[in-house]
Amino acid sequence: MSSFVRNAWYVAAWSREIGRQLTTRTILGENLVFWRREDGTPAVLVDRCPHKLAPLSLGTLVGDDLQCGYHGMTFNGSGQCVRIPGQAAIPPSASARTFALAERYGAVWIWMGDPALADAARIVEVRRHGEPGWALVDGQYLHFDCNYLNITDNLVDPAHTTYVHKGTIGNAAAEDVGVKVEQDDDHVLAYRWVNDSEPVPLVQAMGSFTGPVDRWQYYHLHLPSVSCVDFGSIAAGREHSEEEMDAGLRSFSYNFLTPETETTTHYFWLHLRNYHVDSAEAGAQVARLMTDTFLEDAAILARVQREQERTGVREFVRLAIDNAPARIRRLIARQQAQEAEQAAA
């Protein structure tokens, strides 16, 4: 059975990736071709001509439309055939499949479920995006060799940072600090405060703390697969309020997971920070550190995926730290059951 949720907005591409050339990407197992119309709006079709199934991405843009490279059938961005060479009548079946798109936060988002539900207001809010006092590391991309749910597990799992990320964002002080978990219908939050501890290497490098800090990790997962990690430090003993946290050293790391296939995932990410906001060097350093951190995750998750495939088992032992991942899996299963019901009705 597929692990995908279809009624959701996924990042299909960064805006800069889509232009007046044809760009291909596989999403939820579907081969797609993207381009921009002359007015700048993005368009997408399934990358398969309804005639002989030639990939449309081998064709050519003609104005706003896409002309198949095999026999020249031409489709507009709504999937309608607008021209068949040598034939005046266009049969109703001569259409290519398309999906709703929306552009926000420098990304092109795609909705691959029921088109009647494709409301752009449901795109997740990226906190502090575009606000003064916040610097953005934008438009980053990684490719993970695992099912997206292995990544959502990881992104609400503060416990692994001590081990997988010892050289980057973790340290041993957090080893035995418990994680609290909350949830509602489409959101799971795992969080913890590690009080009165040494700043971690990143905070050591970026902050100006002279003594111990209280540090927080809030791992939000907006279903099915947008993660926001709210991470920061304040001088030990200060109030744990939004105002104090914004006045401390704070960052929001967004990861937008888009399933490519059942065993591979597009990993789009951006990062907002409130420190060294005018420093290109700090931005480059954050980008390097985040990339190193995520590649540490990618490496272990690829191995986890292979073992899961080899054994057909996902986990043998359930630990207390699996509370948040288990909730996500349950909520995803519920969304899938709802979609299956709707499709049947």
The span of 84-92, 116-124, 256-264, 297-305 binding Fe ion (CB under 5 A) equals: 297-305
- According to DSSP, residue 199 is labeled P
Toward ligand FES, which CB reaches closer, 47 or 138? 47
The span of 36-44, 79-87, 271-279, 289-297 binding Fe ion (CB under 5 A) equals: 289-297
**Structure-block tokens of residue 97:** 């499949």
Is the Cα dihedral 243, 244, 246, 250 positive or negative? Answer: negative
Choose from Fe ion, ligand FES, none: what does 71 bind? Cβ within 5-8 Å by kind: ligand FES
3-state per-residue secondary structure call for 227-241:
EEEEEEEEECCCCCC
Toward ligand FES, which CB reaches closer, 86 or 312? 86
The span of 58-66, 67-75, 278-286, 294-302 binding Fe ion (CB under 5 A) equals: 294-302
Using an 8 Å Cβ cutoff, are 114 and 13 in contact? no
Please identify the residue of the shown chain whose CB is closest to the bound Fe ion. Answer: 297
**Least Å distance between CB 300 and Fe ion?**
9
Q: Which of 297, 324, 336, 339 contacts Fe ion by CB under 5 A?
A: 297
Q: Which residue type occupies 60?
A: T
Toward ligand FES, which CB reaches closer, 76 or 154? 76
Toward ligand FES, which CB reaches closer, 69 or 139? 69
Toward Fe ion, which CB reaches closer, 205 or 295? 295
Q: Measured in whole angstroms, how far is the alpha carbon of residue 241 from the centre of its chain?
A: 28
The pair phi, psi for residue 199, each rounded to 5°, is: -60, 140
Q: Measured in whole angstroms, how far is the alpha carbon of residue 237 from the centre of its chain?
A: 35
Using an 8 Å Cβ cutoff, are 273 and 285 in contact? no
Residue 157 near Fe ion by CB under 5 A: no
Where does this chain bind ligand FES (CB under 6 A)?
A: 49, 51-52, 54, 68, 70-73
Toward Fe ion, which CB reaches closer, 123 or 202? 202
Give the span between the Cα atoms of 337 and 345, in whole angstroms. Answer: 12
Q: Are strands 187-197 and 180-184 parallel, antiparallel or unpaired?
A: antiparallel
Choose from ligand FES, Fe ion, none: what does 70 bind? Cβ within 5-8 Å by kind: ligand FES
**Structure-block tokens of residue 260:** 């490519």
Residues at the interface with Fe ion (CB under 5 A): 297
